[in-house]
Structure 1
Amino acid sequence: MNNNTEMSEFILLGLTKTPEFHIFLFMMFTFIYITTLVGNLAMILLILLDDHLHTPMYFFLSNLSLVDFGSSSTVTPKVITGLLTGNSVISYNACAVQMFFFVFFATVDSYILASMAYDRYAAVCKPLHYTTTMTKRVCTCLAIASYTFGILNASIQTGDTFSLHFCVYNK
């Protein structure tokens, strides 16, 4: 008979066990996180407000900024909180949700970058057909497909990972 006790939480191993570095790392990660959030929000706002930037390239760039905003907000707040409070425990469900969003944003990021590459290919290699190739409808379909494949991949990866049995070692 095996011990099949299910895990209810995981213990996250930190960057360092030296408490003196926790405040320094907390300040450094907080500064980088806030800079990332402000930069991405500024990019999205600038693209929305300036009519000259309503082109396919900037449409994909604003989506990339949105994905980067979400991606950096998936793991970083838990790391920052753990550094400040010393609490390095994450529940089983919170870990599953965090993994889902991490995989989702990573997948969407890849597909948005591929869409941007296609946009640049169309602009450089077929400049006379660019306006008929990269219409608003095509850009919207590429973006929707990116988010759809992101949800699909994240659901499969998270479902497969958390259908495994986690027992004994929870670090």
Structure 2
Amino acid sequence: MFRDNVNFLEKKDFFEQGILALHFNRPLEAIKYLSLLEEENNSATSFNIALCYLKVQKYEIVLFYLEKALSEIKRNRSIEMSSNNYSELLAFEQENDDYIKPMLYFTPFQFPDLAREQILRLMVDILFMLERKEEMYKIINSLKNKNYKNVKDKITRS
């Protein structure tokens, strides 16, 4: 259906419609939009598809898309983060659960480290649910010196 109307909607519109559908708890609709963008190899697309499967508790499929998202991250370091209030912003992100919210389209390109950490935080949750603790601890080790609330919780509960 959507493929016939490719000229009507541009790629950014597919992404935005997928995010909106995901936001309104319509994962099937979100996947239909987002799957049209998979060939672009954007981490945000794969991450958001993983969130769709998370809603229906298909954890192995979630893990597949998270691994795909991780492998697609572009290492674009041309944008520097301002040091003003950085510690307060980081503390806020470490304590909230927004890592399970949709990822914006340009995040993997502009902020690859933030995108990577968002993906890894969700991977920790999924591996914990699948009781794959050895893999989970490898990921936790790659998040050293981070005080992410969900990661601390998994360490405590293991």
Query: Normalising to structure 1: TM-score of the pair?
Result: 0.27
Structure number with greater CO (CA < 8 Å, separation at least 6) is 1
Larger radius of gyration, structure 1 or 2?
A: 1
Q: Indicate the structure with greater helix content.
A: 1
Query: Normalising to structure 2: TM-score of the pair?
Result: 0.28
